[in-house]
Chains A and B, each alone.
Chain A
């Protein structure tokens, strides 16, 4: 359902993405692994049109994103189908947990307040925050905030969700909370693309792993293959370093 073809992006002289191509099927969980600066987060952000790119194209179902596409309405169509969860959560601090989740359904989809709140309560229950509906983000722990952020993304009923290092700002206990929520989502057949540095996380949820290095996909395959039998030197070096950390 997501198809990326020959994506290139430059910042001045620096090539951040050098012809990335990959496909994510419906219900598939793809994890992007690789050393820092390899272009994982940039790739994720271009899919949600938070970054522009210079060549190639991105297809999401029947919608296409090209370098020359600037129409805001079209970009909004794409963003509605693809949710995003950020490393720093980016919850709206002036709203309660419940309001964070109802904000977009009410004002983008035009849901009534009752409908939006009913759905938001279900989602917050699902991520284990039934008792935090009216809490402000500043009073929540990092793990709780990230779970609200996931509920917020789910509230738009996206066809795919992009996770940009969702556990990097969390300690191990809070990481476990978030990983278990993501694993639940994976079981329910939610299409996801996840950027992470955590090998454990990747192994537990991924259907496919793409190892990115220097702006290109070095190797793709199921977790078993990537972890047990890596084909590329880049992948081996990365895994050795990551395991030693």
Chain B
């Protein structure tokens, strides 16, 4: 599945350098799960089918073979399963933070992950499948792709940082050109439309099975290759939990309940049957699909597309997007006043505060302005908890945005305060006012007026920056769009709806700003 992008990888490295120790589980997680009656598992609904994706009849709920697996496993532990949304690449961090009990979302086992976390037995063996266009008969088998003389190198689309990308590098080296995509279906669409000369895409087999119907112009090339293992991750200390989950996984295979789920998603195949890997210590696991399993293969594959109106009204997607827009508005309207307050305090401190305070305030502005918002959010949400300060995601987002913008507001206010003529302060002082009273009653009210246009401008910008907060699991408008665009395939239509919602939020503000500017300009004409 998806892997972290370059920037996020860099952030993770930085986090590691800062010495983010794993948060030791205070009590035993298994006992805790049983006590609260809930197994909280992390996944990203944006990853889409067949893993975890919004239900078509009720997009507020999620479905997918992993949801069903979680329900089966939870039932065996005697509890209920609860899905918790998080950005895919950040799920391990959410696990460390203690927001979730386990990660169950197409994470393949790697030695690195095995070192950081406790990993369960594989619950699925996936392979990689090459797809090409049906009308493209240049390659007869997989190995043809790397052959010279196919009029130039083949261009192969993959999910950036995925196992597919690593396999291509290993198997073909420089004989093919690898094109990185951000989403799996985007890559398939790229091949279907030959965007940018892309000839083929290498995908996880479950994804191919699930989305095949949506891309009728594509065909499979060759057999699946390079098996990999999806595992459940838990915190390193939670060996008891992993053992219980292992028992549950085996149980679900043995009684045929999970194979039946896989069959419905068209994911049951010989690879699952053959794998000798899923055996317990007593060796009593029979990996065959039980004869009783109804093999209605492909029942749960991606449904055909629906009209925009149907999706928005009947499926309730419209309401979901509007609610997500509400989260965006709430984030910005809580963060901006805070940013203004802190920014103003910093500007006043830098200009009028005690001398020893001025350099640190200057550094604050430089550091906050000079580092990206994503990094600040990451530190607040993922690193502060290891120092004993765990803030809920929504408030972490509010504080992160406020922190980031406070530096910019501080500079705006500094300019605004400096624009007030010296004579104003002198006149106030000569009337016996204290410096602070003069600032509060005379200088700041005037500066506020001067900076209204740039501050409102930043407010509008903040609406768009809230999108970054999906990094720390806040589902605001952009994230809601990505999730449902992936699950419905209505990338363009929902994109337009989302854009309209953003416009509906920012346009009234823009009008307000231009009115303000006009009023200020009129005020100045009298001078």
Contacts and interface: CB of A to CB of B under 8 A. Distances in A.
Contact of A79 (B421, B429, B446): B429
A53 B431 CA distance: 21
Contacts of B446: 92-94
A90 B427 contact: yes
Interface residues of B, number: 22
Interface stretch (B44-52, B84-92, B368-376, B437-445): B437-445
A138 interface: yes
A116 to B, nearest CB: 13
Contact of A108 (B424, B432, B445, B527): B432
Given A92-B427, A107-B441, A138-B526, A72 B433 contact: no
Nearest to B523: A138
A227 interface: no
B432 A90 contact: no
Contact of B429 (A50, A103, A149, A153): A50
B445 A104 contact: no
A83 B430 contact: yes
B424 A90 contact: yes
A86 B437 contact: no
B432 A80 contact: yes
B435 A72 contact: yes
Interface in A66-120: 72, 76, 79-80, 82-84, 86, 88, 90-94, 103-104, 107-108
Given A94-B446, A138-B526, A103 B434 contact: no
Contacts of B523: 138
A1 B491 CA distance: 83
A103 B441 contact: yes
B341 to A, nearest CB: 20
Given A86-B423, A92-B424, A94-B445, A107 B430 contact: no
A168 interface: no
Interface in B412-461: 421, 423-424, 426-435, 437, 441-442, 445-446, 449
Contacts, number: 65
A104 B432 contact: yes
A152 B431 contact: yes
B130 to A, nearest CB: 70
Contact of B437 (A90, A93, A108, A152): A108
Q: Could you tell me the dominant secondary structure of chain B's interface residues?
A: helix
B434 to A, nearest CB: 6
B432 A72 contact: no
A139 B432 contact: no
A79 B438 CA distance: 14
Counting chain B CB atoms within 10 Å of each CB, the highest count among A80, A86, A91, A108 belongs to A108
Contacts of A149: 427
A48 B427 CA distance: 11
Contacts of A202: none
A108 B427 contact: no
A83 B446 CA distance: 23
Contacts of A72: 434-435
A156 interface: yes
Contacts of A94: 445-446, 449
A48 B430 contact: yes
Contacts of A93: 446, 527
Contact of B434 (A76, A92, A153): A76
B449 to A, nearest CB: 7
Contacts of B426: 50, 84, 86, 90
B452 to A, nearest CB: 13
A90 B430 CA distance: 11
Contact of B432 (A50, A76, A91, A138): A76
Given A92-B424, A138-B523, A84 B449 contact: no
B332 to A, nearest CB: 27
Contact of B423 (A83, A90, A104, A153): A90
Given A50-B426, A84-B430, A107 B437 contact: yes
A84 B526 CA distance: 25
Given A50-B430, A90-B421, A139-B526, 7 more contacts: A72-B435, A86-B423, A91-B427, A92-B428, A104-B431, A136-B526, A156-B432
Report the 8 A-B pairs with minimum CB-CB distance, sorted nearest first: A138-B526, A90-B427, A104-B431, A80-B432, A84-B430, A90-B423, A108-B432, A79-B432
